C-alpha cells in the first residue's frame, strides 16, 4: 500500500489516505485476518471423525452414543472428541475444527461442538453408557488451583487395580522381601517402593507421611545421601542397594530399630515396639487423624482410609511380610469400619448432648447457662452479636428449658421423681440442687428409642410446643480414658460397683438415630438431688475402635543420663535432713544460717492419718 499523504490546514496536519488499488480475488497470497491455516493432516482427521459418527460405527459405540444423547443426534464437545486416543496426535484445535467443516457426515456448531448432519439409518445395538476411562478430564470449576497433571491416575482411586508384576520386579521382590531378611529391612524397602510407585498430591502425601510417623517411620527428602546425586554416589563405587537406601525418602527411626531389636533379644529395659498392623490402623484413624484432619468431611475420611488400604494391598500383593498376612487383612477391615463409623460420629459430635441435657444445664448453672442468643436479642454492644445471623437461635431460654425438662421427667421419671420435681416447681424454680459433678469417660452400651407411653406424651407435647422432640435413652458405662493424667479419685469411684455403674442419659431420638454401641466420649456428668443425671458438656468423642498408642511420645523418649554431681549432693542433703525439720538457707534465719521449720510444733495439723 502507498503511504498516506499529509495535508496542512491552518498549521495543523491531517492524515488522508490515498486510494490504493486492491488485488483481485484469487491473487491475494497473504492470510486474511482471523483465518486459520489448513491442518497438514486434514484428510486423516476427516477420515477418523467421519468413521466415529458413521452408520457403521456409531450404532455400536456405547460411549459415543451416550455423549450424543443416546440416539446419535445431539451435539458433542469437540474437546471430548480430541481426547480420544486416536485423535490426540492432531494438535491445534482451531485447525482441526476448520478441517471438520469440510465433512459430509458431521457439522460444526458454535465453533465448540460437532453433530451428525443426519439421524442414524441403522438400528442401535448397544446400551448407551458413558465410559469413565474415555471421558476427558476437566479441572473442576470449584477447584481452579488443580492442574491437568493432578487429574491423572494416582493409584489411590477406589477402583484402582494392581497390575501384574514383571519378571524383573518379581526377581527384585524375591531379593528385597526374602524371609531371610529382617522385618525392618523388608518394611523399609516396601515403604520406599510404595512411595516411588504412587503419585501423591498434597492430601495423600500428608496423610501417608503422618501415618508412617505414627508407625515409627520417619520421612524426609533424600535423607542419607548428604546432598549427593545418584550419579555422584555411583562414582563413589556405591552399589545400587546402598544408593537406594541412601536416597530413601522414608526410613524406620533408629530409636524404633534399637527398641525392636532389643525386644527380640529379650532386653526389656528399652521401650518396646512391636509389629501390630491392626492396632496401628485403629490408633491412627481414631486419634492422630481425627486430631490433625477435618474428619467431618466424608471425602477426607475416604482419602485417609484409601491411602491405608492401598498400602496394605501393596504389602499383600508383593508378599512383603507373609507372617503378618492375617494382621494386614484385619487392618484393611478397620478402614471399612472407619468409613462407616466416622460419618455417623460426625453427626453425633455436633448434636450431643442434645436439647434435654442442654435444658438441664441451662436451668442448673451448667455450661449452657446464659448462652441464649438471637440476632434480635443480642445488644449492639454484645460481643456475641457479630457472629449471630438473622434467624439463628443459639441456646435455650429459661422458659424453653423448663418445658423440655418437665417433658422429660413426665415421660421417663419415676413417680417419686415426678412428685419431687412438681413440689420444687410449686416452691419456686429451680428448687432442685446439683449433688455431684464428675468429669469422666463414657462408653455407649445400648440405645433405647422412645416408645409406649413416653412417646405418646411427647407426641402431645409436640402439639403444644413445636420445639419439644421425643427422647430415648443412651445407656452408658464408665470408660477409662487412657491418656488422662493420674487423679486423686474418691473411693466411691474406684470400687467395683462404681466401675460397673450404668448411666441412663435422656437424648433426643433424632440424635439417637446416629448413635451406636461402642462410641466413647469424655464428658462432664452432673446429678440432681432427685437422681436425674445429665451430660453437661462433652470434650471429645471417639469411635468404637478407638485405640491409644503412645508412639509419638515414645519416639521422642530420651533415656535419663547419669546423675550430675549437684544432683548427688542434693540427694544426700535430703537424706541427711530426713525430708523435713530444718532447712538450710545460707545467710538467713537463725544462727549459722539455719531456719527453723515454723510448723514444727503444729505437725498434728498435717497428719497423714485420715479422720474417723
Interval 159-187 mean pLDDT: 75
| CA gap 308, 204 in Å, rounded | 10
Q: 193 versus 293: which is more confidently predicted?
A: 293
Task: Give 194-226 pLDDT, tens digit per residue.
Answer: 888 887 788 888 999 999 989 888 876 555 555
Q: What does the pLDDT read at residue 157?
A: 60
At 5, the pLDDT band (50, 70, 90 cuts) reads: very low
Q: What does the pLDDT read at residue 27?
A: 34
Interval 340-347 mean pLDDT: 94
Give whichever of 151-160, 277-286, 462-471, 584-593 has the largest mean pLDDT: 277-286
At 174, the pLDDT band (50, 70, 90 cuts) reads: confident
- Other C-beta atoms lying within 10 Å of the C-beta of residue 415: 7
Residues 308/331, Cβ–Cβ less than 8 Å:
yes
Q: What does the pLDDT read at residue 241?
A: 62
- Judged against a pLDDT cut of 50, whether residue 516 lies above it is answered with yes
- Judged against a pLDDT cut of 80, whether residue 460 lies above it is answered with no
- Other C-beta atoms lying within 10 Å of the C-beta of residue 361: 24
- Judged against a pLDDT cut of 80, whether residue 433 lies above it is answered with yes
Q: What does the pLDDT read at residue 540?
A: 93
| CA gap 584, 579 in Å, rounded | 12
Task: Give 69-124 pLDDT, tens digit per residue.
Answer: 888 989 998 988 988 888 888 988 899 999 999 999 999 998 889 999 999 989 98
Q: What does the pLDDT read at residue 432?
A: 86
Q: What does the pLDDT read at residue 575?
A: 78
- Judged against a pLDDT cut of 70, whether residue 574 lies above it is answered with yes
Task: Give the torsion through C-alpha atoms of 200, 204, 206, 209, to 10 deg.
Answer: -80
Q: What are phi and psi of 537, to 5 degrees?
A: -160, 150
State how beta strands 113-116 and 106-109 pair.
Answer: antiparallel
For residue 360, give the nearest of 531, 542, 539, 540 by alpha carbon: 531
Q: 515 versus 36: which is more confidently predicted?
A: 515
Task: Give 248-262 pLDDT, tens digit per residue.
Answer: 677 787 777 777 777
At 483, the pLDDT band (50, 70, 90 cuts) reads: confident
Q: What does the pLDDT read at residue 21?
A: 40
At 35, the pLDDT band (50, 70, 90 cuts) reads: low
To the nearest 10 degrees (0 to 180), the angle between helices 202-214 and 298-317 is 60
- Judged against a pLDDT cut of 70, whether residue 588 lies above it is answered with no
Q: Which three cell numbers stand for residue 599?
A: 510448723
- Judged against a pLDDT cut of 80, whether residue 462 lies above it is answered with no
Task: Give 288-321 pLDDT, tens digit per residue.
Answer: 999 999 999 999 999 999 999 999 999 998 899 9
Interval 494-506 mean pLDDT: 74
Q: 14 versus 231: which is more confidently predicted?
A: 231
Residues 206/215, Cβ–Cβ less than 8 Å:
no
For residue 283, give the nearest of 334, 235, 207 by alpha carbon: 334
Of 300-309, 516-525, 576-585, least confident by mean pLDDT is: 576-585
Q: What does the pLDDT read at residue 518?
A: 95
Q: What does the pLDDT read at residue 601?
A: 42
At 490, the pLDDT band (50, 70, 90 cuts) reads: low
Residues 56/64, Cβ–Cβ less than 8 Å:
no
At 565, the pLDDT band (50, 70, 90 cuts) reads: confident
Residues 230/247, Cβ–Cβ less than 8 Å:
yes
Q: What does the pLDDT read at residue 331?
A: 96
Q: What does the pLDDT read at residue 592?
A: 39
Distances from the Cα of 37 to the Cαs of 33, 43, 46, 113, 379, in angstroms?
Answer: 11, 14, 16, 20, 70
- Judged against a pLDDT cut of 70, whether residue 23 lies above it is answered with no
pTM higher than 0.75: no
| CA gap 275, 263 in Å, rounded | 11
Q: Which strands make up the sheet holding 106-109, listed edge to edge?
A: 76-77, 113-116, 106-109
Give whichever of 10-19, 159-168, 333-342 has the largest mean pLDDT: 333-342
At 2, the pLDDT band (50, 70, 90 cuts) reads: very low
Length of the chain: 612
Helix (H, G, I), strand (E, B) or coil at 590: coil
Q: What does the pLDDT read at residue 53?
A: 94
Q: What does the pLDDT read at residue 16?
A: 32
Q: Among all chains, which residue has been given the C-alpha cell 508412639?
A: 551
- Judged against a pLDDT cut of 90, whether residue 14 lies above it is answered with no
At 154, the pLDDT band (50, 70, 90 cuts) reads: low
Percent of the chain whose predicted confidence (pLDDT) is above 70: 67
At 477, the pLDDT band (50, 70, 90 cuts) reads: very high
Distances from the Cα of 574 to the Cαs of 568, 577, 602, in angstroms?
Answer: 10, 5, 22
Amino acid at each position: 500500500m502507498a503511504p498516506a499523504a499529509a495535508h496542512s490546514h491552518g498549521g495543523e496536519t491531517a492524515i488522508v489516505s490515498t486510494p490504493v488499488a486492491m488485488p483481485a480475488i484469487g491473487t491475494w497470497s497473504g492470510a486474511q485476518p482471523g483465518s486459520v491455516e489448513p491442518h497438514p493432516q486434514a484428510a486423516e482427521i476427516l477420515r477418523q471423525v467421519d468413521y466415529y459418527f458413521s452408520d457403521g460405527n456409531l450404532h455400536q459405540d456405547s460411549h459415543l452414543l451416550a455423549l450424543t444423547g443416546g440416539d446419535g443426534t445431539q451435539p458433542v464437545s469437540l474437546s471430548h472428541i480430541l481426547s480420544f486416543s486416536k485423535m490426540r496426535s492432531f494438535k491445534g484445535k482451531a485447525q482441526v475444527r476448520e478441517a471438520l467443516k469440510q465433512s459430509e457426515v458431521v457439522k460444526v456448531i458454535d465453533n465448540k461442538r460437532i453433530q451428525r448432519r443426519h439421524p442414524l439409518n441403522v438400528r442401535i445395538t448397544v446400551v448407551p453408557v458413558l465410559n469413565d476411562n474415555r471421558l476427558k478430564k476437566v479441572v473442576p470449576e470449584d477447584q481452579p488451583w488443580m492442574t491437568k497433571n493432578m487429574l491423572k491416575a494416582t493409584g489411590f482411586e477406589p477402583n484402582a487395580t494392581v497390575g501384574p508384576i514383571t519378571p524383573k520386579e518379581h526377581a527384585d521382590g524375591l531379593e528385597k522381601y526374602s524371609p531371610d531378611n529382617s522385618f525392618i529391612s523388608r518394611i523399609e524397602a516396601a515403604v520406599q517402593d510404595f512411595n516411588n510407585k504412587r503419585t501423591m498430591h498434597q492430601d495423600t502425601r500428608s496423610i501417608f507421611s503422618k501415618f508412617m510417623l505414627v508407625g515409627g517411620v520417619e520421612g524426609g527428602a533424600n535423607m542419607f545421601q548428604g546432598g549427593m546425586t545418584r550419579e555422584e554416589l555411583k562414582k563413589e563405587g556405591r552399589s545400587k542397594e546402598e544408593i537406594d537406601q541412601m536416597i530413601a525418602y522414608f526410613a524406620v527411626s533408629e530409636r524404633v530399630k534399637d527398641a525392636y531389636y532389643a525386644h527380640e533379644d529379650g532386653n526389656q529395659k528399652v521401650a518396646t515396639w512391636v509389629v501390630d498392623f491392626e492396632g496401628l490402623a485403629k490408633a491412627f484413624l481414631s486419634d492422630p487423624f481425627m486430631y490433625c484432619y477435618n474428619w467431618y468431611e466424608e471425602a477426607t475420611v475416604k482419602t485417609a482410609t484409601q491411602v491405608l488400604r492401598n498400602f496394605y494391598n501393596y504389602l499383600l500383593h508383593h508378599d512383603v511380610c507373609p507372617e503378618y498376612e492375617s494382621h494386614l487383612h484385619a487392618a484393611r477391615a478397620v478402614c471399612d469400619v472407619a468409613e462407616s463409623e466416622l460419618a455417623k460420629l460426625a453427626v453425633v459430635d455436633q448434636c450431643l448432648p442434645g436439647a434435654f441435657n442442654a435444658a438441664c444445664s441451662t436451668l442448673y448453672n451448667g455450661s449452657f447457662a446464659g448462652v441464649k442468643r438471637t440476632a434480635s436479642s443480642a445488644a449492639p454492644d454484645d460481643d456475641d452479636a457479630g457472629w449471630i445471623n438473622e434467624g439463628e437461635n443459639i441456646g435455650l431460654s429459661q422458659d424453653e428449658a423448663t418445658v423440655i425438662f418437665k417433658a422429660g421427667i413426665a415421660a421417663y421419671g419415676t413417680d417419686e421423681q415426678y412428685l419431687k420435681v412438681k413440689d420444687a416447681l410449686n416452691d419456686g424454680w429451680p428448687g432442685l440442687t446439683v449433688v455431684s459433678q464428675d468429669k469422666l469417660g463414657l462408653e455407649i452400651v445400648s440405645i433405647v428409642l422412645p416408645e409406649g407411653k413416653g412417646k405418646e406424651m411427647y407426641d402431645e407435647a409436640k402439639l403444644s410446643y413445636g420445639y419439644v422432640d421425643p427422647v430415648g435413652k443412651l445407656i452408658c458405662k464408665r470408660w477409662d480414658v487412657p491418656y488422662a493424667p493420674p487423679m486423686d479419685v474418691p473411693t466411691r469411684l474406684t470400687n467395683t460397683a462404681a466401675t460397673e455403674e450404668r448411666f441412663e442419659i435422656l437424648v433426643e431420638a433424632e440424635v439417637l438415630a446416629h448413635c451406636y454401641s461402642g462410641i466413647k466420649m469424655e464428658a462432664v456428668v452432673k446429678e440432681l438431688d432427685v437422681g436425674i443425671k445429665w451430660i453437661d458438656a462433652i470434650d471429645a468423642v471417639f469411635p468404637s475402635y478407638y485405640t491409644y498408642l503412645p508412639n509419638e511420645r515414645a519416639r521422642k523418649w530420651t533415656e535419663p543420663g547419669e546423675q550430675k554431681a549437684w544432683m548427688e549432693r542434693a540427694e544426700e542433703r535430703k537424706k541427711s535432713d530426713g525430708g523435713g525439720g530444718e532447712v538450710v538457707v545460707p545467710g538467713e534465719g537463725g544462727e549459722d544460717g539455719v531456719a527453723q521449720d515454723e510448723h514444727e510444733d503444729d505437725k498434728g495439723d498435717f497428719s497423714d492419718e485420715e479422720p474417723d
